[in-house]
């Protein structure tokens, strides 16, 4: 009998799940009946209407919280990412620094990197480097990261001369409270263990709210930062790091990892066709594979999951259409169902399901108390992004009449294409050989790059050869620049058109705001003499696609960009009028968040393992209804998180072989990371070594 698999959500997790159901292999006979075969049905429901292919056009680029926006909607022209925009590259070739790429220490998003390769997108993968000398505009002062010294500190009254160091030094101070081994030696498994068992190991004064032995999982990161850094130290770390979401009351142990992710050896990349291009390719592969395997593919755009119940191990669900999303339009059944959606969209389904009284044999897998508790384990983080295109890169340091405070974006990177181009120009063989050891290493100056080559070859390059090299290796960084004004961060995309025959157009993410300032920008969305006509709870702008920025918002953005690059109180006219501007408000439904982070007071490993199949939390229930996506992952805010949760479900419940060697790279936190007596004993030994008087690993309760 033919079976039907239904996937709700056509973003990263939904598309990945569909693709892997089709191309994955299982070697276990007990799972053979669960593999898709000829005559089966694969359904993909999409509340939005993404522009996947010519046959399946839509209102915006895919997928979900990834949204590549091209100038004039021309895919050959320059683009700005108005959602997720990059991935951490996993180098599968052994290097001196990482001789075993499959061990637990090699950095990178392994699943995303593998997917890009399997889809044949490697040729579009390009460096997406950040500057090592950020521009700041904090408390009405313009300065650069490398200019922060004891003589020219940042404008914050931080304890112990903290303003004489970089903003992220505050994170380092807090992380040192729980050091058991160098953070660079932490593997993915180590972090999973740390989330559950990590504690403060430092001896702290009585005045500290938190004390040695306290579990980090029970501490909000904001609380800990404020307790240890003071008001000014907290403000400096919060303002200067650019991400407001990184300093709220998240699970402190997880926040240690998040603020430690830009470690030595990490290389960030994106796709030259735009990050949405990966999801176009996934959709095309799904169509090809279903056709070649004789599987019926049903794509339902503008259709959302309304409610869902488990019945006899299957899923019984109602669906609704986009023009009337709160009223069920029909009922269907699936042998397995995936909710590839963020927490807010799941909450909507749970609300509607609550009003369906389960019949005999039916089970509500979303509204059970333990499931509801676990669904609340992640914090929804709003985000607002505004993109702009200009006819000149006025922010760059190498334009005519540069701004007083230009963004430090000039950069150089040697890629395989660089070497190929120089080889065709008969570049010296010794220099080309040296460059093979320098691939993807970012340089902020041509001089440093040239010196690195000459140190290896022990031969000087001629002036002509230096010009050849710099012309071929120029790869500007994205910045970013940071401000404590509502724009928060500015990311510089520049002229990244795939067709360089067009007149150059230069893009920037003029405001990359998260957490704090979405309401500031939302009140500028309507012009004068305008009444709000759509309730925010029903405004699905993220599904429609980028909206045109009204004149008032453009003027406000120019005002803040002028202060960032030209100094305090500079008139907005210093920044030219943009050619085109658009925004995405990710705080609106159905996402209601740009990304998620773990809340304190949860065993997040247990949440990861159980919430992906909620019926595991209900005694006597077993329904093949799954939750996948970045929200309940080890890699929140990244496509990697969506892919990894999806992969874990397919491995564990459908017997599909892992897409990569995951022995040292668990897709979700494994059972072994759970609390154990052995872990307590090991840590207690460390604490007693620090303080021999300590008798118990548990701090005394206040009387």
Mean pLDDT of 473-480: 92
Asked if 308 and 160 touch (Cβ cutoff 8 Å), the reply is no
Q: What is the pLDDT of residue 673?
A: 65
What CA–CA distance (Å, rounded) separates 93 from 101?
7
Tokens 């968040």, residue located = 593
Beta bridge partners of 297: 42
CATH code 3.50.50.60 region(s) in the chain: 4-56+274-381+593-658
What CA–CA distance (Å, rounded) separates 452 from 494?
27
Q: What is the pLDDT of residue 264?
A: 44
What CA–CA distance (Å, rounded) separates 548 from 580?
8
Looking at residue 199, the DSSP 8-state letter turns out to be B
Count CA atoms closer than 13 A to 452's CA, side-chain side: 21
Q: What is the pLDDT of residue 698?
A: 42
DSSP of 47-108: SS-B--SSSS--SB-SSTT--EEEGGG-TTS-EEESS---EE----S--SS-S-TTSSS--S
- pLDDT tens per residue across span 486-536: 999 999 999 999 988 889 999 999 999 988 899 999 999 988 888 989 999
How big is the chain by its Cα radius of gyration, in Å? 26
Beta bridge partners of 512: 385
- CA 397 to chain centroid, in Å, comes to 29
Asked if 267 and 193 touch (Cβ cutoff 8 Å), the reply is no
Beta bridge partners of 378: 598
Q: How far is CA 489 from CA 128, 365, 512, 654, 698, in A?
A: 16, 40, 5, 42, 42
What CA–CA distance (Å, rounded) separates 131 from 409?
6
Asked if 320 and 345 touch (Cβ cutoff 8 Å), the reply is no
- pLDDT tens per residue across span 102-158: 999 999 999 999 999 999 999 999 999 899 999 999 999 999 999 999 999 999 999
**Domain 4-56+274-381+593-658: which CATH number of 3.50.50.60, 3.40.50.150, 3.30.420.40, 3.30.930.10:** 3.50.50.60
Contacts of 205 by beta carbon, 8 Å cutoff, 6+ apart: none
Torsional sign, CA 38, 336, 340, 606: negative
Asked if 229 and 174 touch (Cβ cutoff 8 Å), the reply is yes
Q: Which two tokens stand for residue 151?
A: 């003589």
Contacts of 30 by beta carbon, 8 Å cutoff, 6+ apart: 655
pLDDT at 245 over 80: yes
Calculate the average pLDDT of the chain: 93
Q: Which two tokens stand for residue 374?
A: 């676990």
Asked if 613 and 310 touch (Cβ cutoff 8 Å), the reply is no
Q: Which three-class secondary structure string do you get for 673-691?
A: HCCCHHHHHHHHHHHHHHC
Q: What is the pLDDT of residue 441?
A: 87
pLDDT band of 701, cuts 50, 70, 90: very low
Q: What is the pLDDT of residue 179?
A: 81
- pLDDT tens per residue across span 176-188: 999 888 888 999 9
Contacts of 28 by beta carbon, 8 Å cutoff, 6+ apart: 655
**String of b and e for 473-499 (b: at least 16 CB within 10 Å)?**
bebbbbbbbbbbbbbbbbbbbbbbbbe
Q: What is the pLDDT of residue 95?
A: 86
More confident residue, 72 or 267: 72
Mean pLDDT of 251-268: 78
Assign residue 230 a region (left: φ > 0; alpha: ψ between -120 and 50; beta: otherwise): left
Strands 41-46 and 125-127 turn out to be unpaired
Count CA atoms closer than 13 A to 223's CA, side-chain side: 16
- pLDDT tens per residue across span 643-653: 999 999 999 99
- pLDDT tens per residue across span 124-133: 999 998 999 9
pLDDT band of 700, cuts 50, 70, 90: very low
Beta bridge partners of 299: 44
Strands 383-390 and 506-514 turn out to be antiparallel
Mean pLDDT of 431-444: 92
DSSP of 350-392: HHHHHTS---TTEE-SSSSHHHHHHHTTEEEE-EEEEEEEESS
């Amino acid at each position: 009998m033919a079976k039907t698999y239904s996937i709700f959500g056509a973003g990263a997790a939904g598309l990945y799940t569909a693709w892997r159901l089709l191309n994955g292999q299982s070697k276990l006979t007990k799972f053979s009946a669960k593999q898709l075969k000829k005559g089966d049905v694969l359904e993909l429901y999409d509340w939005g209407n993404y522009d996947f292919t010519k046959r399946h056009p839509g209102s915006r680029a895919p997928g979900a919280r990834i949204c590549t926006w091209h100038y004039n909607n021309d895919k050959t022209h320059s683009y700005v990412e108005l959602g997720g925009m990059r991935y951490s590259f996993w180098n599968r070739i052994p290097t001196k620094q990482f001789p075993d790429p499959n061990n637990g220490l090699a950095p990178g998003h392994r699943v995303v990197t593998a997917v890009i390769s399997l889809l044949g997108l490697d040729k579009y993968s390009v460096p997406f480097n950040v500057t090592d000398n950020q521009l700041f505009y904090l408390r009405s002062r313009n300065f650069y990261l490398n200019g922060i010294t004891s003589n020219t500190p940042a404008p914050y009254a931080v304890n112990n001369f903290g303003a004489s160091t970089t903003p992220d030094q505050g994170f380092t101070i807090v992380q040192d409270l729980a050091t058991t081994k160098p953070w660079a030696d932490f593997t993915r498994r180590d972090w999973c263990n740390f989330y559950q068992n990590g504690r403060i190991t430092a001896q702290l004064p009585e005045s500290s709210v938190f004390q040695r032995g306290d579990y980090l999982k029970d501490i909000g990161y904001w609380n800990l930062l404020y307790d240890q850094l003071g008001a000014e130290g907290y403000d400096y770390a919060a303002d200067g790091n650019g991400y407001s979401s990184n300093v709220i009351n998240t699970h402190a142990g997880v926040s240690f990892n998040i603020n430690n992710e830009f470690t030595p050896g990490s290389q960030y990349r994106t796709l030259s066709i735009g990050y949405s291009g990966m999801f176009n390719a996934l959709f095309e592969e799904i169509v090809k594979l279903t056709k070649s395997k004789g599987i019926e593919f049903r794509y339902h755009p503008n259709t959302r999951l309304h409610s869902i119940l488990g019945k006899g191990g299957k899923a019984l669900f109602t669906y609704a259409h986009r023009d009337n999303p709160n009223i069920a339009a029909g009922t269907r059944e699936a042998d397995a169902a995936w909710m590839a959606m963020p927490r807010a969209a799941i909450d909507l389904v749970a609300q509607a399901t609550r009003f369906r009284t389960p019949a005999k044999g039916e089970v509500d897998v979303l509204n059970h108390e333990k499931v509801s508790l676990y669904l609340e384990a992640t914090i929804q983080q709003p985000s607002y992004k505004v993109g702009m295109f200009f006819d000149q890169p006025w922010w760059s340091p190498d334009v005519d009449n540069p701004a007083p405070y230009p963004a430090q974006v000039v950069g150089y990177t040697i890629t395989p294409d660089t070497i190929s181009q120089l080889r065709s120009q008969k570049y010296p063989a010794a220099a080309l050989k040296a460059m093979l050891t320098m691939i993807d290493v970012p340089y902020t100056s041509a001089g440093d790059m040239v010196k690195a080559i000459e140190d290896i070859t022990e031969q000087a390059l001629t002036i002509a050869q230096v010009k050849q090299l710099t012309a071929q290796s120029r790869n500007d960084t994205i910045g970013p620049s940071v401000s404590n004004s509502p724009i928060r961060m500015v990311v510089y995309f520049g002229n990244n058109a795939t067709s360089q025959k067009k007149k150059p157009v230069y893009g920037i993410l003029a405001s990359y705001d998260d957490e704090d300032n979405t309401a500031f920008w939302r009140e500028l969305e309507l012009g004068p003499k305008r009444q709000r006509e759509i309730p925010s709870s029903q405004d699905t702008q993220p599904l429609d696609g980028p909206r045109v920025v009204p004149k008032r918002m453009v003027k406000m953005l120019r005002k803040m960009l002028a202060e960032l690059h030209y100094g305090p109180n500079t008139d907005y006219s210093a920044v030219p009028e943009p050619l085109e501007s658009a925004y995405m408000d990710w705080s609106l439904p159905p996402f209601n968040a740009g990304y998620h982070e773990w809340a304190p007071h949860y065993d997040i490993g247990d949440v990861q393992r159980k919430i992906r199949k909620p019926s595991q939390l209900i005694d006597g229930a077993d329904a093949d209804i799954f939750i996948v996506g970045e929200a309940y992952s080890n890699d929140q805010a990244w496509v990697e998180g969506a892919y990894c949760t999806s992969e874990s479900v397919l491995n564990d419940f459908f017997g599909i072989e892992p897409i990569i060697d995951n022995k040292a790279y668990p897709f979700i936190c494994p059972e072994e990371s759970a609390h154990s007596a052995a872990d307590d004993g090991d840590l207690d030994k460390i604490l007693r070594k620090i303080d021999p008087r300590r008798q118990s690993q548990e701090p005394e309760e206040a009387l």
